[in-house]
């Protein structure tokens, strides 16, 4: 009977808007308060050395050099972690007298009577968390510009209004945010997941457009809820994958988020996934009471836009000139358009919605577009011959980009690269070498990725021959599988000779190289 009720809960989700959508279990309270402190008390020039399971245990606040390089900052955090770990090991060996300052502070961080065994185990759980107070405050200010649209989209999809604070956790409401694992935009979509809801290629990247990406995020969240049956699991699935959370619930026989966070030991269900829901609740608390944490804050006002759908491909430069605005202004408010369009190598494609602030226009944008000459609105896209570059010894992405007058980012985008690793003998497609308005097919991108991966040295490209196999399950995506195994979707596609054009299927086997 219990099992039947459990699966019924998964199969019959309810999207009603009420407080029970986002329960706040007592067991999660230490984690929630930890994230409130991270968001409000320590800046990005500070951080906490803490226990990664019992988040009520904070050993020290670490100050970081403001203008130091990332390497120097990392060295300081590593030194602090080793110092605290050493103190825990001493306490784990029974030391209680003659303590140095670190040992005394560590001892005081735990309740009186904590056992030596607990200290010894805690020595393996020391972690550093960078502060976010300045970033969160900036995100609050920025949120004013996007909040009305986010609320409108959530209401359209009948989703809880509380979800509007999720960008605090993902990007601090920064539409230009780009992570080291290639997640991008206000909602931090990975490329493979984004392509289920929007266009992402080397000409158009709709992840960077807050309006389009918000619609995609709403669809993804609604899909997660249908798969998992509860909002705590659906939100955690935004980080870990809805399929992964369904398996966690099935493995433990419960959908209670606190039980899953405490007891689930699934592969790749690490610190970020275990804390995702708690960090969301913390963001919700701070966002609901900004004055309590930051004092008076003036939110950015939404920008009023004149929007027109392009019926025929059009030159960005010609459109800007005809509208009487600068190309920079047009670029600023249409962030989904990538460099080839602004360099004039591509046209703004048919069907794209162009936005310009109403106050910057002398006449309606639709009138401007209609008045453009045929040269600016070609009946057929002009074509150029395909160009490639074979990587020579000593080449780097930056040197190749300089040689051909393109940006490194566009070179990476055109070849589906997630990092700067290339090797002699690889062949790179040059941005702008396809016809205007044309994009690489998924097969071409996958083929390029495969060629580049096979040309990389063993230290850069993991060999599928040293791999494990993963059987795809319901709810999986390339994005969620990549996150679970700490690899990129591009690597998965290269190792398995697949592309985003044909969806992966439950039961399909993927090769996954051993993590470095």
What DSSP letter does each residue of 119-167 carry, written as one string?
A: HHHHTT-EEEEE--HHHHHHHHHHHHHHHHHHHHHHHHTT--GGGGGHH
Per-residue confidence (pLDDT) for residue 501, from 0 to 100? 52
33, part of any domain:
no
The reported pLDDT for the residue numbered 373 is 57
Model pLDDT, residue 432? 58
Low-confidence ranges of the chain (pLDDT < 70): 1-19, 373-387, 413-419, 423-425, 432-467, 474-476, 479-480, 483, 486, 488-490, 494, 499-503, 514-516
Strand stretches in 250-401, DSSP E: 305-309, 353-357, 388-390
Out of 130, 165, 185, a domain closes at 130
pLDDT per residue as tens digits for the range 288-343: 999 999 999 999 999 999 999 888 889 999 999 988 999 999 999 999 999 999 99
Say yes or no: 210 and 279 in one domain: yes
E strands along 362-486, which residues? 388-390, 427-429, 467-471
Domain membership of residue 398 as a residue range: 388-455
- For residue 334, tell me if it sits in a domain: yes
Total domains in the chain come to 5
Give the residue carrying structure tokens 């999207």. 15
Boundary of a domain, candidates 455, 477, 493: 455
Q: Over the stretch 56-91, which tens digit does the pLDDT of each residue have?
A: 999 999 999 988 898 999 999 999 999 999 999 999
Residue 381 lies in a domain: no
Q: What is the pLDDT of residue 379?
A: 46
* Residues contacting residue 263 through CB under 8 Å, at least 6 positions apart: 252
Coil, helix or strand for 171?
Answer: coil
Predicted TM-score (pTM) of the model is 0.73
Q: Based on the domain organization, do 153 and 237 belong to the same domain?
A: yes
Instruction: Report the pLDDT value the prediction gives residue 311, as an integer from 0 to 100.
Output: 85
């Amino acid at each position: 009977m219990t099992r039947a009720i459990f699966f019924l809960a998964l199969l019959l989700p309810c999207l009603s808007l009420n407080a029970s959508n986002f329960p706040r279990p007592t067991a999660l309270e230490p984690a929630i308060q930890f994230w409130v402190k991270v968001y409000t008390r320590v800046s990005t020039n500070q951080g906490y050395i803490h226990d990664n399971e019992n988040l009520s245990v904070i050993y020290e606040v670490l100050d970081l050099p403001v203008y130091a390089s990332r390497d120097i900052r990392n060295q300081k955090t590593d030194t602090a972690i080793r110092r605290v770990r050493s103190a825990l090991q001493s306490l784990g060996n029974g030391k209680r007298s003659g303590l140095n300052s670190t040992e005394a502070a560590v001892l005081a961080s735990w309740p009186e009577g904590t056992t030596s065994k607990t200290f010894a185990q805690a020595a393996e759980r020391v972690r550093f968390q960078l502060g976010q107070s300045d970033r969160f405050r900036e995100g609050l200010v920025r949120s004013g510009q996007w909040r009305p649209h986010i609320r409108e989209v959530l209401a359209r999809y009948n989703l809880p209004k509380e979800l509007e604070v999720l960008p605090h956790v993902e990007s601090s409401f920064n539409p230009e945010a780009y992570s080291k694992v290639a997640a991008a935009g206000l909602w931090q979509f990975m490329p493979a997941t984004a392509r289920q809801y929007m266009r992402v290629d080397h000409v158009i990247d709709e992840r960077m457009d807050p309006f389009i990406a918000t619609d995609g995020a709403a669809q993804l969240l609604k899909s997660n809820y249908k798969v998992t049956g509860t909002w705590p699991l659906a939100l955690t699935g935004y980080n870990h994958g809805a399929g992964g959370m369904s398996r966690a619930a099935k493995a433990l026989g419960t959908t209670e988020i606190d039980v899953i966070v405490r007891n689930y030991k699934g592969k790749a269900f690490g610190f970020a996934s275990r804390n995702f829901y708690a960090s969301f609740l913390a963001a919700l608390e701070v966002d609901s009471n900004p004055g309590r944490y930051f004092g008076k804050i003036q939110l950015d006002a939404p920008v009023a836009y004149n929007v027109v759908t392009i019926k025929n491909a059009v030159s960005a430069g010609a459109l800007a000139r005809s509208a009487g605005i600068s190309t920079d202004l047009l670029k600023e408010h249409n962030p989904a358009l990538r460099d080839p369009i602004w360099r004039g190598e591509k046209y703004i494609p048919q069907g794209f919605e162009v936005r310009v602030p109403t106050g910057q226009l002398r006449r309606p944008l639709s009138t401007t577009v209609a008045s453009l000459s045929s040269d600016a609105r070609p009946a057929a896209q002009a074509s150029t011959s395909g160009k490639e570059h074979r990587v020579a010894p000593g080449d780097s992405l930056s040197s190749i980009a300089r040689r051909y007058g393109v940006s490194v980012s566009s070179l990476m985008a055109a070849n589906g690269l997630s990092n700067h690793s290339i090797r002699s003998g690889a062949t790179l497609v040059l941005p702008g070498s396809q016809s205007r308005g044309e994009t690489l097919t998924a097969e071409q991108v996958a083929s390029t990725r495969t060629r580049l991966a096979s040309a990389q040295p063993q230290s850069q490209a993991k060999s599928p021959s040293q791999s494990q196999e993963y059987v795809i399950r319901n709810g999986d995506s390339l994005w969620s599988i990549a996150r679970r195994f700490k690899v990129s979707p591009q690597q998965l596609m290269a190792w398995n000779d697949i592309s985003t054009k044909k969806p992966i299927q439950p039961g399909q086997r993927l090769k996954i190289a051993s993590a470095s």
